[in-house]
Structure 1
């Protein structure tokens, strides 16, 4: 509480400290720029790690803040309630914020991240960094200039330093010696890219095609091998395999030739494919072919052109077709504006190829799940939106006992980017879906970005009982937009990580989701998977 010292408490520096607390109202740093307890000038915090799990825990609080009040750099702040609050900009950069249930209330710089820092084992008090942590080599050298050359372990600090109190590798972390039967190599209860990294570290990476990691024998170990590994070890019934079974002691993948068990539906959601038949769009398409889903939900922007038939045939048809073969029979599209259709009368290419009216909704069923495709292009151009809304309400009324999965192009729930805010014009459709207790809503539009949100209502209030769980999966290959803010009730997000959003929808009303990074420079979201229950 440096704010209690008034100006007599100026020029304090806090560096390379670990703060861990489960107290209800714990707080890492509180300082002030004015009022009866301030000003307190030039407080500086470098490379601290704060892990605060109390229900009202806060990371950093700075009232009447300013650049001459607080310098805050290279810190990792994990706080259950608020990662931070400041009512004015301050000298902030290269921090990591995570966990807060209340939207981060700090004016953060573009170099700071809202992402899981990937500690080794925080529940056991181990706050060293796992391989692949976004904190590694991503700090700024100002802490070194200030004279802090060793971390909390006494290890020498590199340039650039890590974010947080520990340099990566300052304590050797030994991964689990062998993966479990469910693929959970690090024992954290999840099967994700962290387990894959450990698994490959134990069983070797080779470019020869003989490595256990190179499942598809293409001479490299990459995201497509991860797709195969994840689907083998996370699904109740393994996928039909087209590659040799990996020769490890445990687990042993058993090839099967039957489709997934009845009552389980493997669904992909993907959108915003780049105008190329090469990487990264090709890598994503190949990963989807490997997954062999029952249905592919495509949320628009299929070639980043103008939606002509020649453009569609030149790009998405070559990646996912060719029509009528390939994955084409499994694709259920939705039309977005600009790149799919340009006006209420311009849909010749779209309708000719997809066999759908670009400005009307349609629906279909898979087991206990009812899918609804809606044309956000209609809201952009004003193409009988009232008619689509009336159709939607009638369709929902005709399917009262189904779990509902809806999708369109422009997201209502999203973090703003350099190109697009949230699209509130789809509110009438969202209201109808919420009234019918719809379960899942996916969208695209935010090129190169993935987002997952907690269930919420149309006013952006979290509601686990009656809310809808929304996702943005604009990860088909198009270059990413930059995030400029944080969407309410965000679980996780990524930018520049390409791959499919995979759903396992069960006829008993439960579902799981997982974003699988296949390629791209971006860091995979964390968490990258979750589960839910049909409402």
Structure 2
């Protein structure tokens, strides 16, 4: 993991009430339009008429028609332990049309486990034979290694992208990421930016039979609360959840983080086995993706777009 330490040094330079979201009438000045989802493509899945195929096609259409400014890929792109051939033969077939606006994070296990499946970063940089296109962030920054943090401004919003994998593979590096996160958010907050963080394994989440909350991520959550991050995005659970604006003590508070867990990209869905009080909306019967409209004043609209199933969720959070 010494290589990641070098990467971190390089990267370091780099009210709970809701109301229905208004109908979209196209982009307006000061608005950023985003689509987001994780947990996308199953093993050897390449058919268009699958949940993954429908999601990939729907988001690719938004990209082609310039209806979104960014697609945030929240980890677990291709199951089960993907290498270049898997990304090229399967993920590209269904999701390739999203890559030109893709900002990504890698997850532990399915995207990256050292010594087993280390190709996602190469794929995103256009280095896998047969898939020369680079993801949007790679076009802007060049090669980004699995586990490397980065941040990006979208209008008046500052997004941080973190890999959850170091908490699994190297806690020393996870703590180094925590320090990097604190410095990055400090600088963005000083510039008056509204703050958001994307990472794969959720902290604010209901249990399933396979996963509970990622309690080891608590140092990140403490830093996010310190800087009053307004929005977080994660995946992993194979269902959909939205929290109240929540603080680092699981309390609903006016200036808390609205945490979206969107892992409905196409892999099989899982039911919930617990009911945290901070979760305001959830379902596990529908594949689809989240659309966000972010405004310069810190307000935002959300809308879950179902592509296989009928559950949805929409609303508005007012400016701070």
TM-score range, shorter chain: 0.7 to 0.9
Which one of the candidate residues 292, 315, 321 is aligned to 2:90?
A: 315
Q: How does 1:146-185 map to 2 (within 5 A)?
A: none
- Check 1:430–1:534 CA distance in 2 against 1; reply closer, same or farther (3 A cut): farther
1:137-187 deviation line (CA, Å, top 9, x unaligned):
xxxxxxxxxxxxxxxxxxxxxxxxxxxxxxxxxxxxxxxxxxxxxxxxxxx
Kindly report which structure 2 residues correspond to 1:247-396, keeping only aligned pairs within 5 A, or say none.
260-275=27-42, 276-278=45-47, 279-292=50-63, 293-321=68-96, 326-343=97-114, 348-355=118-125, 356-382=144-170, 384-396=173-185
- C-alpha change, 1:266 and 1:421, in structure 2 (3 Å) is same
Work out the CA distance in 1 between the residues paired with 2:316 and 2:116: 39
**Deviation of residue 347 (structure 1)?**
5.8
2:316 match: 531
CA distance in structure 1 between the aligned counterparts of 2:107 and 2:276, rounded to whole angstroms: 21
User: Where in structure 2 are the equivalents of 1:116-515 lying within 5 Å?
Assistant: 190=20, 234-237=23-26, 260-275=27-42, 276-278=45-47, 279-292=50-63, 293-321=68-96, 326-343=97-114, 348-355=118-125, 356-382=144-170, 384-400=173-189, 401-447=192-238, 449-465=239-255, 467-515=256-304
Report the Cα offset of residue 318 of structure 1.
1.8
If asked which structure has higher relative contact order (CA below 8 Å, sep 6+), I would say: 2
How many angstroms apart in 1 are the aligned matches of 2:103 and 2:30?
20
Query: Aligned runs of 1:38-77 on 2, under 5 Å?
Result: none
Distance between the aligned counterparts of 2:319 and 2:198, measured in 1?
A: 16
Structure 1 residue 265: Cα displacement? 1.0
Checking the alignment, whether the CA contact within 8 Å between 2:81 and 2:117 is kept in structure 1 is no
SS in 2 for 1:399: helix
Higher helix share: 2
RMSD between superposed Cα atoms in Å: 1.9
- If you compute each CA radius of gyration, which structure gives the higher value, 1 or 2? 1
The answer (yes or no) to whether the contact 2:303–2:315 under 8 Å persists in 1 is yes
What TM-score do the two structures reach when normalised by structure 2?
A: 0.81
Gaps of 5+ in 2: 1-15, 126-143
CA–CA separation in structure 2 for the residues paired with 1:533 and 1:397: 23
Cα distance in 1 for partners of 2:118, 2:107 equals 14
Q: Distance in 2 between matches of 1:504 and 1:319?
A: 25
| Partners of 1:273 and 1:301 within 8 A in 2 | yes
Q: How big is the shift at 1:371? A: 0.8
Answer whether contact 1:512 1:529 (CA < 8 A) is retained: yes
- What secondary structure is seen at the aligned counterpart in 1 of 2:54? helix
